[in-house]
């Protein structure tokens, strides 16, 4: 990658015009911020990164003829434009200087206010700019920031072109040291710079059809067009196609566009000396090493500042997220070179030990973080959750044949190649929260919902910050059981979000002094935790392709073939989607869990359910329509589950499989009648399911010969590890593991 201008979006003429327009668009919000500080006439103010206009006129009016404003701007052309703007307006109490925001050269402690608006999100090392701003203000002065966090910026209906350009935008930003989520960090940066009495104001907007900022993402990526193409992140032709598709989507008045989350944050510099200020800052941002010494002040003890860490992992065959951590400062290089793993790490069991491995102690592969999967969630009085999901690749950078995430990616590529369609899916996940008392009479009750306390609200908030759009959170059927659902996503992202959802639930529960349990069964005779996958298909324009009101069970022709493939292979699929010994304690009659490989029209007892369409919903019937796969639980990797479903569905499309005739009342049929109708009973144990998978020629093609052998060995070794235990003891092992 070639060396770039430090300002992320560049300094082209269109960008300068956008910044001039932005000055008008954000004027009211900036005025409100200055009102909170109480900026008085006669004040001295510095604006960092003022661009061609910024807040200069607003600040000039606030400080009046007896006050003064200095604008600092890096780009010489923007400085010239700002000076022309001031001259045209007859503004004489503002001076614009060319300089770097982290090293302005201005005298220390000379200003009553230092402010910056949407600067930190566009530059590397924003902490240095905040530190410079704190140094410029007098004791008792203020630093005020108005910054963005890109988490919430979405359009609905989802558009593949939007997602693709966003992926390119995020990768390019990371490669250039830009934090698109800096908004969530401004409070900690102000605190680290020694500010006190910090306050915040979050802002979010709906960009309607006539809103001037509706095309802002399109403008941003267009600024970067030459650079992202030059860096090989996207071809020129693909970029043009995505831009045309996005422009058309934004013109459509039915497209919903949500802004970034904007964070206004301001804090005061203490009325203290600079040396005391530094000591106070250290006390707040550091922890003590070594034992306490009687009679010795805390600030006299040796202090070590915390260094941020990042974790990179993948959800393996056991359904656990495993990987390695490294210093956050190394992130740019780690995104390129990854972290090393041994072959046999893929054989770590659900319970921890490696029971068997065909690899021995030999072999090295790379876990390569996917920049698009970044999760960074701050928690009070705790280290943040900061991690990436990734792929396992060879030393040459090729996909490793045993990588679960690539298993899904290969399936999605086959779906695209065979039909031109994309998978659109969402996970519905059940778990037990230990922070409430188990009371069996309160299924789905407000009392159960109430007694989880702040867990639900914190969990849902963490999901949203992590980039997952929550759909529902509820108290479920069993004591202490809850369920969370999220909005659907396209392709691999749907599985990524399922992994993130599990980890956010664990993270929040742990910080509250409890845990969540995703194990399929808590006790053999109890009620299980299922994972249900809702899915549909989208065409190349992002339009629903699975619905036909006149088709069988309202399925289109391609949708019927896809579902028929799943039904045909369902007995083998259970070895992948319900992959624990305890899973089969759940898949028994009279538990509202599937026991037959059947399709049900709005029937929660079926393995595959056609879900209802609601006339009260805003979305049309085709957009609502989805099918639910119910033979899964959290012992399975979401990548393996979705990959298996897609592979089976593609087989149905390829072979033009037909759906079996829908019985009028499946539950009134005898077992003989079901068998005669071609409806198979689901396996009664993990061992039986693995035996069925082992003889499936189709599964051999999905996995590849070696991967299938490894998976079978992995799961059979898990069965052996539990031999001799009674059902209650088996359940307890999974409770401890999940």
Regarding whether 475 and 339 lie in a shared domain, the answer is: no
pLDDT of residue 8: 47
Same domain, 609 and 732: yes
Say yes or no: 430 and 536 in one domain. Answer: yes
Segment 653-683, tens digit of pLDDT: 999 999 987 767 888 888 888 888 888 899 9
Residue 54 resides in a domain: yes
Give me the pLDDT at residue 279, please: 35
Looking at residue 16, its pLDDT comes to 60
Taking a C-beta distance cutoff of 8 angstroms, is the pair 56, 86 a contact?
A: yes
Higher pLDDT, 639 or 152: 639
More confident of the two residues 277 and 547: 547
Same-domain check for residues 557 and 659:
yes
Name the phi and psi angles at 431, rounded to 5. Answer: -160, 165
Please indicate, yes or no, if residue 708 is contained in any of the structural domains: yes
| 173 falls within a domain | no
Domain C-terminal end among 343, 368, 393: 393
Average pLDDT (558-585) is: 96
* pLDDT exceeds cutoff 60 at 211: yes
Q: How far apart are CA 599 and CA 646, in angstroms?
A: 17
Residues 432 and 515 in one domain: yes
Distances 482 to 74, 395, 584, 637 between C-alpha atoms, Å:
52, 42, 21, 20
pLDDT digits (tens, 9 = 90+) for 459-476: 999 999 898 999 999 988
Over pLDDT 90: what percentage of the chain? 68
Report pLDDT for 697: 96
Choose the final residue of a domain: 370, 393, 416: 393
Domain boundary among 393, 416, 449: 393
Alpha carbons 547 and 555: distance in angstroms, whole number: 5
User: Given a cut of 90, is residue 304 above it in pLDDT?
Assistant: no
Position 293 pLDDT exceeds 60:
no
pTM of the model: 0.67
Domain membership of residue 524 (yes or no) is yes
The answer to whether 463 and 151 have CB atoms below 8 angstroms apart is no
pLDDT (tens digit per residue) in 369-399: 998 899 999 888 788 999 999 999 999 999 9
| Partner residues linked to 481 by β-bridges | 432
CA gap 610, 629 in Å, rounded: 9
What is the reported pLDDT for 510?
A: 95
Confidence of residue 11 (pLDDT cuts 50, 70, 90): low
Residue 282 — very low, low, confident or very high, per pLDDT cuts 50/70/90? very low
Whether 60 and 94 map to the same domain: the answer is: yes
The 10s digit of each residue's pLDDT in 322-372 is 999 999 888 888 999 999 999 999 999 999 999 999 999 999 999 999 988
Q: How far is CA 721 from CA 349, 351, 580, in A?
A: 10, 9, 12
Is the pLDDT at 294 greater than 60, yes or no? Answer: no
Contacts of 331 (CB under 8 A, 6+ apart): 174, 310
**Are 534 and 611 a contacting pair, CB within 8 Å?**
yes
Q: Which of 20 and 39 is assigned the larger pLDDT?
A: 39
- Output the six-digit token pair for 37: 């500080």
Residue 1: the pLDDT is 36
Question: Over 80: is that where the pLDDT of 278 sits?
Answer: no
CATH code at position 358: 3.10.20.70
> Please, which pLDDT band fits residue 309 given cuts at 50, 70 and 90?
very high
Segment 586-596 shows an average pLDDT of 84
Q: What angle do CA 38, 39, 40 make, to 5 degrees?
A: 105
Cis peptide before 697 (omega within 30 of 0): no
388 and 496 within one domain? no
The upper half-sphere exposure of residue 334, i.e. CA atoms within 13 Å in the direction of its Cβ, equals 25
Residue 229 included in any domain: no
Residue 291: its pLDDT value, please? 33
CATH number for the domain that contains residue 481: 3.30.590.10
In the prediction, which pLDDT does 272 show?
A: 59
460: which DSSP letter?
A: H
Structural domain harbouring 461: 404-737
Please name the helix (run of DSSP H) or strand (run of DSSP E) that holds residue 145, with its range, or none.
Answer: strand 137-149
CATH number of the domain where residue 103 is located: 3.40.50.150
Instruction: State mean pLDDT over 439-465.
Output: 87
Helix axes 27-37, 13-25, angle to 10 degrees: 60
More confident residue, 622 or 380: 622
Residue 716 in domain: yes
Using a pLDDT cut of 70, give the percent of the chain over it.
93
| 443 and 362 fall within a common domain | no
Asked if 699 contacts 690 with a C-beta cutoff of 8 angstroms, the reply is: no
For 364: left if phi > 0, alpha if psi spans -120 to 50, otherwise beta; the answer is: beta
Q: What is the total count of domains within the chain?
A: 3
DSSP of 242-311: HHHHHHHHHHSTT-EEE-PEEEEEEEE--SS-HHHHHHHHHHHHEEE-S---TT--GGGS-EEE---EEE
Domain contains 242 = no
> Cα–Cα distance between 60 and 86 in angstroms, integer?
10
Q: Are 367 and 313 in contact (CB under 8 A)?
A: yes
**Span 210-226, mean pLDDT?**
88
Q: What is the DSSP letter of 234?
A: S
Poorest-pLDDT segment among 1-15, 32-46, 571-585, 622-636: 1-15
Q: Are residues 673 and 693 in the same domain?
A: yes
Do 520 and 637 fall into the same domain? yes
Using CA atoms, how far residue 335 sits from 63, 176, 326, 406, 545, in Å, is: 46, 12, 11, 17, 36
pLDDT at site 15:
64
> Do residue 521 and residue 608 come from a single domain?
yes
Give the per-residue pLDDT at 730: 96
Q: What's residue 20's pLDDT?
A: 77
pLDDT, one tens digit per residue, over 61-74 is 999 999 999 999 99
What mean pLDDT value characterizes the chain? 89
Q: 143 pLDDT exceeds 70?
A: yes
* pLDDT tier at 13, thresholds 50, 70, 90: low
Arithmetic mean of pLDDT, 191-210: 93
- Is the CA virtual torsion 699, 712, 314, 463 positive or negative? positive
In a domain, 549, yes or no: yes
Predicted pLDDT of residue 424 = 96
Same domain, 477 and 596: yes
């Amino acid at each position: 990658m070639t060396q770039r201008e430090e300002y992320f979006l560049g300094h082209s003429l269109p960008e300068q015009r956008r910044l001039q327009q932005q000055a008008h668009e954000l004027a009211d919000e900036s005025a409100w911020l200055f009102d909170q500080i109480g900026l008085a006439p006669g004040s001295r103010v510095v604006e960092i990164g003022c661009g061609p206009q910024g807040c200069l006129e607003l600040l000039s009016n606030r400080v009046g003829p007896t006050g003064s404003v200095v604008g600092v701007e890096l780009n010489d052309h923007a400085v010239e434009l700002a000076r022309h703007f001031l001259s045209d307006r007859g503004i004489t109490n503002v001076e614009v200087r060319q300089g770097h925001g982290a090293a302005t050269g201005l005298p220390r402690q000379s200003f009553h206010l230092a402010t910056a608006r949407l600067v930190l999100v566009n530059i590397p090392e924003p902490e240095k700019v905040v530190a410079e701003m704190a140094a410029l203000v007098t004791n008792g002065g203020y630093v005020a920031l108005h910054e963005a966090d890109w988490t919430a910026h979405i359009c609905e209906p989802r558009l593949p072109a939007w997602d693709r350009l966003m992926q390119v935008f995020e990768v390019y930003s990371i490669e250039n040291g830009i934090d698109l989520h800096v908004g969530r960090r401004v409070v900690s940066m102000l605190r680290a710079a020694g500010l006190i009495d910090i306050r915040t104001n979050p802002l979010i907007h709906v960009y309607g059809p006539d809103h001037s900022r509706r095309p802002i993402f399109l403008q941003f990526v267009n600024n970067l067009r030459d650079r992202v193409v030059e860096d090989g992140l996207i071809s020129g032709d693909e970029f043009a196609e995505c831009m045309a598709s996005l422009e058309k989507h934004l013109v459509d008045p039915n497209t919903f566009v949500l802004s970034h989350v904007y964070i206004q944050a301001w804090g005061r510099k203490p009325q203290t000396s600079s040396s005391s200020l530094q000591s106070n800052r250290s006390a707040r941002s550091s922890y003590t090493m070594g034992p306490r010494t009687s009679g010795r002040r805390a600030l006299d003890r040796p202090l070590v500042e915390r260094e941020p860490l990042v974790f990179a992992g993948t959800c393996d065959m056991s359904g656990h997220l495993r990987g390695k951590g490294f210093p956050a400062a190394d992130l740019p290089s780690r995104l390129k070179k990854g972290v090393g793993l041994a072959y046999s790490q893929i054989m770590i069991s659900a319970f921890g030990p490696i029971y068997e491995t065909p690899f021995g102690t030999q072999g090295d592969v790379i876990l390569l973080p996917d920049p698009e999967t970044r999760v960074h969630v701050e928690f009070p009085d705790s280290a943040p959750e900061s991690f990436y999901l990734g792929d396992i690749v060879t030393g040459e950078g090729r996909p490793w044949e045993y990588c679960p995430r690539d298993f899904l990616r290969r399936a999605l590529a086959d779906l695209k190649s065979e039909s031109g369609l994309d998978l659109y899916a969402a996970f519905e996940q059940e778990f037990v929260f230990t922070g409430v008392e188990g009371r069996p009479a309160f299924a789905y009750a407000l009392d159960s919902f109430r007694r989880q306390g702040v867990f639900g609200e914190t969990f849902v908030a963490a999901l949203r910050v992590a980039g997952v759009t929550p759909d529902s959170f509820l108290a479920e059927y069993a004591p202490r059981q809850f369920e969370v659902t999220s909005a659907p996503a396209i392709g691999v992202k749907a599985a990524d979000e399922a992994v993130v959802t599990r980890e956010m639930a664990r993270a929040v529960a742990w910080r509250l002094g409890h845990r969540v349990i995703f194990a399929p069964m808590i006790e053999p005779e109890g009620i299980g935790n299922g994972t249900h996958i809702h899915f549909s298909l989208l065409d190349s324009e992002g339009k629903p392709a699975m619905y036909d009101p006149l088709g069988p069970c309202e399925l289109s022709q391609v949708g019927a073939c896809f579902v028929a493939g799943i039904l045909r292979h369902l007995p083998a699929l259970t070895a992948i989607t319900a992959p624990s010994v305890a899973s089969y304690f759940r898949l028994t009659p009279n538990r509202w869990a599937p026991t037959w490989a059947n399709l049900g029209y709005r029937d929660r007892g079926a393995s595959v359910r056609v879900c209802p369409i609601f006339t009260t919903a805003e979305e049309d019937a085709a957009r609502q329509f989805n099918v639910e796969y119910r033979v899964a639980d959290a012992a399975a990797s979401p990548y393996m589950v979705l990959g298996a479903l897609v592979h089976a569905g593609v087989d149905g499309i390829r072979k033009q499989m037909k759906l079996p005739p829908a019985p009028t009342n499946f539950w009134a049929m005898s077992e003989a009648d079901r068998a005669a109708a071609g409806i198979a009973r689901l396996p009664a144990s993990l061992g039986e399911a693995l035996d069925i998978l082992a003889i499936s020629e189709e599964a051999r093609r999905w996995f590849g010969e070696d991967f299938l052998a490894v998976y079978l060995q992995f799961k059979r070794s898990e069965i052996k590890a539990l031999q001799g235990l009674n059902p209650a003891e088996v359940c307890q092992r999974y409770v401890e593991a999940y």
